[in-house]
Chain A
Amino acid sequence: MKGVIFNLLEDAVTIEHGPDTWTDLIDAAGIDGAFTSLGSYPDETLLALVDTAAAATETTPADVLRWFGTAAIPLLAERYGVFFEWHPGARSFILSVNEIIHPEVRKLYSGAGCPHFQFSTAPDGDLIVGYQSPRHLCALAEGFMLGAAAYYGERVTISHLACMLDGSPLCRIRVRWDG
């Protein structure tokens, strides 16, 4: 997992719960906790943080990831504004992930294992997102999409039509724009 994710998590936690909470979280998770955006760290480190946070807040790791994804979007927009500027809305932004955002990620972090999303449009206009990754971070993806909608001032309802966590070969996530 790339260091930038840990940096974003740190920022999100710090903004919402203060700087001490982050240090407490690191201590509780029993990890080293020094991250630079350009470094790579074991996936387990992120999972340890997420699990610890879930336990502390009495929620599920998926809830934590969803929250994190949502909170990370404005931070990403601050750091990488160029990826957000040219989109009229969240749909266009989400659709650009494979072709614009992930290629950019690979420019910075050679060998980054970015997931590939399959996009299709349901007859009723909903966006159907296919997700497949050995990391099983579909909740994080959900959070990112929720955050994107909020960023562009839109409201969406996201539901999992199928999930790898339930034994499906891939996750199928439906994004419905409200209103």
Chain B
Amino acid sequence: MPHPGAVGRMIHALVAEPCSIEKRLARAERTAQRERTARLEAERIAERGLRTLYDSKQRLQLLQHITGVANRARTVPEALAAALEAICERMNWTIGNVLMVSDDRTYVAGCDIWRATDAGGVMTFIEASRRARFEVGEGLPGRVLATGRPEWIADLGNSPMFVRAADALRCDLGTGCAFPVLAGDEVVAILEFYVRQTVTEDSEIVEILEQAGVQLGRVFERDRAQRALIHDALHDPLTGLPNRALFNDRLQESFERLAPARRHALAVLVIDLDGFKLVNDTLGHHAGDRVLIRVARALHDALARLETGAGCGLGGARFSSARMGGDEFTILVEDLAGEDLAKRGVIDMIATALHRALDKNLGSTSEFAQVAASIGYAIGSAAHANVDQLLRDADLAMYEAKAGGRGRTVAFTEALGETLRDRARLTNELREAIEREEFELDYQPIVTLDSTKAVCGFEALVRWNHPVRGRLLPAEFIDVAEGSGLILFLGDWVLREACATAASWPTVAGQAPFISVNIAARQFTQPGFAARVRQIVLETGVEPTRIRLELTESTAIVDIEHTCAVIQEIRKWGVQTSLDDFGTGFSSLSSLHRLPFDVLKIDRSFVMAMDGQGKGDGIVRAIVALARTIGMTIVAEGIETPAQAELLIELGCELGQGYHFGRPALASHAMALLGR
């Protein structure tokens, strides 16, 4: 480095040197040139900065715009169209086109959402694109579908991958690109863009488009979530079948579409599973769920076969099945030609096909083999004012089917309706009768089967003093009372009345007569039954040993554990129990010894079958021997002749009851028999 003093001298020498005009001019020009070069460089730097700023601002705005579109759009097509418009506009693409991915994701197809700055000039290309379909990997959109990444083709005319090259050339298109709309990782749509110029791949543009694809994907996700919500709200999650709400909607729609006179083209089948509760109780809820899923599938498949008319000529009908809840399914049938479904037995044919399908499907698994279906159906008519009435009729038919046993089909008819209406009327009357206490008890004597034939007790039998029809026997109303649940109130009254009567009867000759009271199954299985008995006994002040509760065999064996527990509880206070109608139910000798009854009543049918020598006697003898072994007292019912009485004495039967000894009579008459 030169000495500072030397530099100073050099500058001084330069400045001091006498200078010609030319030299000074030349120097000024060099200075101007330097300034100019510096200015140009400054301008270039500034331009670069401005351009970058502008580009990023534009891209940010575009992305913001698309995010806004994605937020606001109510439908997927609306969002896609708006985004296409914005991208074409702001990025100067000549053509934009939307393709949607198929549900099975095997192909992508144009959905007629497109935009062109110069539609006339590019019509050939638009026509080749707006409805075009590309398999995975085929062409530009197919490639994007395959890779899930944006693709860029700078020179469309020379790209072997681009299948629309000829159309692109005809429209002077140079460059194309496409990017995926992604819902999560899944390609759900593809947007493609074309421009006349040849443009090399621009990583920034690609990045922006990629982000736009993610934003638009949110619209799809939202749309799917909405659809899923609607689907969930209208379908049963277990079986996937429509639920009650959707079924009612469809039924309502069909019902309203048909003129009243044409409603015979509409039918509703109600299907209730038989034996389902047993599967649930014995094999658990998971097994129950499996049954429901199988049933749903069997119904669905069977209806699909029927709908296509395979082999049954029902091609003109449309079906819609639903799970209404629990083990209840429904099917809506509509004849599309408006034909009367009652004719040709169409619905019976359908029901038969359904029974068969269920049998095939469930019968194949031994654990579900006991499951069947009770089907009730109703065909629409002008008499139906609304869908509820139609559904109600089908329901009633189903109950009727169920009451008749498993695997049956019952059609709703006017006659059935009449019967059911009668039953409903009787139910109402019965309810009023209970409130008004229109009942009274008859007492039939029970005697010792020995030489004295002394009356030792009575069976209380309920009678209804119907205000119009007169005195009714239980056979005329007990079924309805049991079916409607009114038996609980009636049974309660009977027990209280019998207890009160027994309490009022005096002891005759040291003998306190007992009263047998029939207990209905529903009454017995009611929680707190034993406590209720105790309360009534205490309130009426009856001597507990004077009361015998009679249970039928079928009631006793529903839940043997429960039966034993209740009987033992009752027996603690002295109330006795009697097994009624022995031999008419399951006659489960095996369970008999487990049931701690005090008394066993031989059913009248066995008594009537006795002839002093044959099989009938043998049966009674066997029952007597059995009861003795277990330590039960035996009462024979339905003794009508002296011969029967003698035979029973011979066989060792201890007590007897029947017309031979006395008909049922009011308490006052019955009391007169005491001590006779």
Q: Within 8 Å CB of A88, what residues of B?
A: 198
Instruction: Check if B51 sits within 8 Å of A96, measured CB to CB.
Output: no
Instruction: Check if B197 sits within 8 Å of A38, measured CB to CB.
Output: no
Q: Within 8 Å CB of A106, what residues of B?
A: 54
Instruction: Check if A107 sits within 8 Å of B50, measured CB to CB.
Output: yes
Pick from B29, B46, B117: contact of A38, CB under 8 Å: B46
Pick from B43, B54, B58, B174: contact of A37, CB under 8 Å: B43
Give the size category of A's interface with B. 10 to 19
Instruction: Check if B39 sits within 8 Å of A108, measured CB to CB.
Output: no
Distance, CA A99 to CA B199, complexed state (A): 12
Distance, CA A19 to CA B30, complexed state (A): 13
Q: Within 8 Å CB of B172, what residues of A?
A: 95
Q: Knowing A99-B92, A100-B92, say if A38 contacts B196 (CB, 8 Å).
A: no
Q: Tell me if B253 counts as interface (CB < 8 A to partner A).
A: no
Distance, CA A105 to CA B50, complexed state (A): 11
For B195, give the chain A residue with the smallest CB separation: A99
Instruction: Check if B51 sits within 8 Å of A92, measured CB to CB.
Output: no
Pick from B50, B174, B200: contact of A108, CB under 8 Å: B50
Pick from B29, B46, B196: contact of A95, CB under 8 Å: B196
Distance, CA A104 to CA B117, complexed state (A): 18
Q: Within 8 Å CB of B39, what residues of A?
A: 36
In the assembled complex, how far is the CB of residue B459 from the closest CB belonging to chain A, in whole angstroms? 106
Q: Tell me if B94 counts as interface (CB < 8 A to partner A).
A: yes
In the assembled complex, how far is the CB of residue B166 from the closest CB belonging to chain A, in whole angstroms? 18
Q: Knowing A104-B51, A107-B50, say if A92 contacts B43 (CB, 8 Å).
A: no
Per-residue 0/1 for B26-51: is the Cβ within 8 Å of any A Cβ (1 yes, 0 no)? 00010000000001000100110011
Instruction: Check if A107 sits within 8 Å of B92, measured CB to CB.
Output: no
Instruction: Check if B196 sits within 8 Å of A107, measured CB to CB.
Output: no
Give the size category of B's interface with A. 20 to 34
Distance, CA A38 to CA B94, complexed state (A): 29
For A100, give the chain B residue with the smallest CB separation: B197
Instruction: Check if B50 sits within 8 Å of A87, measured CB to CB.
Output: no
Q: Within 8 Å CB of B117, what residues of A?
A: 99
Q: Within 8 Å CB of B51, what residues of A?
A: 104, 107-108
Distance, CA A106 to CA B58, complexed state (A): 11
Q: Within 8 Å CB of B43, what residues of A?
A: 36-38
Distance, CA A87 to CA B197, complexed state (A): 7
Instruction: Check if A99 sits within 8 Å of B50, measured CB to CB.
Output: no
Instruction: Check if A86 sits within 8 Å of B47, measured CB to CB.
Output: no
Q: Tell me if B232 counts as interface (CB < 8 A to partner A).
A: no
Instruction: Check if A108 sits within 8 Å of B54, measured CB to CB.
Output: yes
Instruction: Check if B197 sits within 8 Å of A107, measured CB to CB.
Output: no
Q: Tell me if A103 counts as interface (CB < 8 A to partner B).
A: yes
Instruction: Check if B47 sits within 8 Å of A108, measured CB to CB.
Output: yes
Q: Knowing A36-B39, A37-B43, A37-B47, say if A86 contacts B55 (CB, 8 Å).
A: no
Q: Within 8 Å CB of A19, what residues of B?
A: 29
Distance, CA A100 to CA B198, complexed state (A): 11
Instruction: Check if A86 sits within 8 Å of B198, measured CB to CB.
Output: yes
Distance, CA A96 to CA B117, complexed state (A): 13
In the assembled complex, how far is the CB of residue B270 from the closest CB belonging to chain A, in whole angstroms? 67
Pick from A38, A87, A107: contact of B54, CB under 8 Å: A107
Distance, CA A99 to CA B95, complexed state (A): 12
Q: Within 8 Å CB of B197, what residues of A?
A: 86-87, 92, 95-96, 99-100
For B48, give the chain A residue with the smallest CB separation: A108
Distance, CA A157 to CA B290, complexed state (A): 85
Q: Within 8 Å CB of A108, what residues of B?
A: 47, 50-51, 54
In the assembled complex, how far is the CB of residue B376 from the closest CB belonging to chain A, in whole angstroms? 72
Q: Within 8 Å CB of B29, what residues of A?
A: 19
Distance, CA A156 to CA B172, complexed state (A): 20
Q: Within 8 Å CB of A95, what residues of B?
A: 172, 196-197
In the assembled complex, how far is the CB of residue B46 from the closest CB belonging to chain A, in whole angstroms? 6
Distance, CA A96 to CA B195, complexed state (A): 10
Distance, CA A110 to CA B50, complexed state (A): 9
Distance, CA A87 to CA B92, complexed state (A): 17
In the assembled complex, how far is the CB of residue A100 from the closest CB belonging to chain B, in whole angstroms? 6
Per-residue 0/1 for B197-211: is the Cβ within 8 Å of any A Cβ (1 yes, 0 no)? 111100000000000
Instruction: Check if B55 sits within 8 Å of A107, measured CB to CB.
Output: yes
Distance, CA A37 to CA B36, complexed state (A): 12
Q: Within 8 Å CB of A100, what residues of B?
A: 92, 197
Q: Within 8 Å CB of A86, what residues of B?
A: 197-200
In the assembled complex, how far is the CB of residue A7 from the closest CB belonging to chain B, in whole angstroms? 8
For A39, give the chain B residue with the smallest CB separation: B43
For A95, give the chain B residue with the smallest CB separation: B196
Per-residue 0/1 for B167-182: is the Cβ within 8 Å of any A Cβ (1 yes, 0 no)? 0000010100000000
Per-residue 0/1 for A91-102: is the Cβ within 8 Å of any B Cβ (1 yes, 0 no)? 010011001100
Q: Within 8 Å CB of A103, what residues of B?
A: 92
Distance, CA A108 to CA B46, complexed state (A): 9
Distance, CA A100 to CA B202, complexed state (A): 14
Q: Within 8 Å CB of B195, what residues of A?
A: 99
Q: Within 8 Å CB of B54, what residues of A?
A: 106-108, 110
Distance, CA A92 to CA B175, complexed state (A): 13
For A19, give the chain B residue with the smallest CB separation: B29
Q: Within 8 Å CB of A38, what residues of B?
A: 43, 46-47, 50
Instruction: Check if A99 sits within 8 Å of B196, measured CB to CB.
Output: yes
In the assembled complex, how far is the CB of residue A141 from the closest CB belonging to chain B, in whole angstroms? 19
In the assembled complex, how far is the CB of residue A67 from the closest CB belonging to chain B, in whole angstroms? 23
Q: Which A residues from 38 to 81 make CB contacts under 8 A with B?
A: 38
Q: A95-B196, A106-B54, A107-B58 are in contact. List 4 more A-B contacts (CB 8 A).
A: A88-B198, A99-B196, A103-B92, A108-B50
10 tightest Cβ-Cβ pairs between the two chains A and B: A107-B54, A99-B92, A37-B43, A86-B198, A107-B51, A96-B197, A108-B50, A108-B47, A103-B92, A38-B46
Q: List 11 A-B contacts (CB under 8 A).
A: A38-B46, A38-B47, A86-B197, A86-B199, A87-B197, A92-B198, A99-B195, A103-B92, A104-B51, A107-B55, A107-B58
Contacts from B to A (Cβ < 8 Å): 29, 39, 43, 46-47, 50-51, 54-55, 58, 92, 94, 117, 172, 174, 195-200
